[in-house]
Amino acid sequence: MNAISTVELRARLATYAGNNLRKSLSMSGYNRAGVLVPIIFRTPTPELLFTKRTELVETHKGQVSFPGGMMDPEDT
């Protein structure tokens, strides 16, 4: 995998600023969920932050993932 510079990543992400992907993607048949993709820009090469799921959850035990998950009824 090739590394990408912070400048190049920021430029690529800027092309999506203001886009509302919800308008172009069909949400039919999917559960509502939210996922955060944390990008850390403290080094010359951007880094991603992941979480590791506990062994105590019902599904996906011990898997590495982005923070987030299914929408709960009390979420807005």
**What's the pLDDT tens digit per position in 21-62?**
666 667 788 888 888 889 998 878 889 999 999 999 898 999
Domain ranges, ordered by start, for the chain: 34-76
As a whole number of Å, the end-to-end CA separation of the chain is: 38
Cα angle 36-48-56, degrees, rounded to a multiple of 5: 65
Average confidence (pLDDT) over 5-25:
77
* pLDDT at residue 1, as a whole number: 62
Reduced to 3 states, what is the DSSP secondary structure of residue 70? strand
| Phi-psi label, residue 7: left if phi above 0, alpha if psi -120 to 50, beta otherwise | alpha
